Amino acid sequence: MSIPLGYFLIAWAVLLAVYGILVFLTLVQTLRHGLASPFTYASSFIFIAVIVIVVGGCGILFTNTDWKAEVNVVPSNISSTFFGDMETNALQDLQL
Amino acid sequence: MINLSRLLNHADNERTVFFLRRHWLTILPLIIGFAIAIVLPFAVYAAILYRTPGFFDDASRFTLFVLAASMFFLYAWLFLFQNFIDWYLDIWIVTDRRIINIEQHGLFGRTVSELMLYNVQDVTSQIKGFVRTVLDYGDIEIQTASERVRFTFDNVAHPNHVAKRILELAAGQRTNPPGNPAT
């Protein structure tokens, strides 16, 4: 079953948008109710920095991606990867 | 933000005696869980490569994997930070006049309550278990004249010392209440 890669990018972007809202709310609560100390600012900064690094890294990685390419989400050899050799299994079932 | 020098209903000459949080060890399981969560995408990647060496030859599959792994990591990171916030925003402040209990319940639940020290009748500290005994952290229960326990400090450091000090401060407040001109 092949699905264009772009569809997954859309799903990723939607999840990222939801994530952005949750991050915003978390930061608002942290800065509103946290103790007025450098540790509060430092932890918030680290939280944001890690997110920026991950999203930025993905952005760089995705610049040369062909989003029109189709990806086979269930490749032919997946059955042997996770369920063993299906043909052999079927033969064993028949022998039983 | 909470400023210790400008607490809610701050009285003149009120002094902060203790600023307490749950012991750092209580968030250790969360940090270990997060460390496992970080390793998980790499472990899945390695397992797929081990079982099916050519699986990621198709660049589309690799991109798909990165999309999934990055989203997994981001949500795991958010989960860790929100739990850290839950720990970080749970605080107990003991001043020389009152006890302020601030509890964060998830992202949107917050309880702030306070108790005047002259109302304190009984303070119980409890350290249970090997790790708690070695690292000296445990619970403190503060009771007023009412039947139910008013405040519970969970997993705070040096509970015996804190309980003793609260009792001393409460005794001091009863003999010299804040409204008394002698203070």
CB atoms within 10 A of CB A58: 19
**What number is the ipTM of this complex?**
0.79
Contact between residue A55 and residue B78 where contact means Cβ atoms under 8 Å apart: no
Query: What residues does each domain of chain B span?
Result: 14-23+90-175, 29-86
| Of B161, B74, B85, B159, nearest in space to B125 by CA | B159
Residues facing residue B156 across a β-bridge: B22, B138
pLDDT per position as a tens digit, A38-78: 888 999 999 999 999 999 999 999 998 888 888 876 666 65
B47 touches chain A (CB under 8 A): no
pTM of the model: 0.80
The Cβ of residue B149 has, within 10 Å, a number of other Cβ atoms equal to 12
Question: To probe the interface with B, which of A1, A14, A21, A29 has the most B CB atoms within 10 Å?
Answer: A29
**By the 8 A CB rule, do A26 and B85 touch?**
yes
Q: B15-66: per-residue pLDDT in tens?
A: 888 989 999 999 999 889 889 988 999 999 999 999 988 888 888 889 999 9
Q: Does B50 touch chain A (CB under 8 A)?
A: no
B78 at A interface, C-beta within 8 A: yes
Q: Which helix (DSSP H) or strand (DSSP E) does residue B109 occupy?
A: strand B109-116
- Beta carbons within 8 Å of A30's beta carbon, 6+ residues apart: A40, A43, A44, B85, B88, B89
SS3 call for B180: coil
- Partners of A66 on chain B (C-beta within 8 Å) are 59-60
pLDDT by position in tens, chain B (length 183): 777 666 666 667 788 889 899 999 999 998 898 899 889 999 999 999 999 888 888 888 899 999 999 999 999 999 999 999 989 889 999 988 889 988 888 878 888 888 888 888 889 999 999 999 999 999 999 988 776 767 889 999 999 999 999 999 998 888 876 655 544
CATH number, domain B14-23+90-175: 2.30.29.30
Nearest to B75 by CA among A12, A29, A5, A34: A12
Size of interface A-B (CB pairs under 8 A): 101
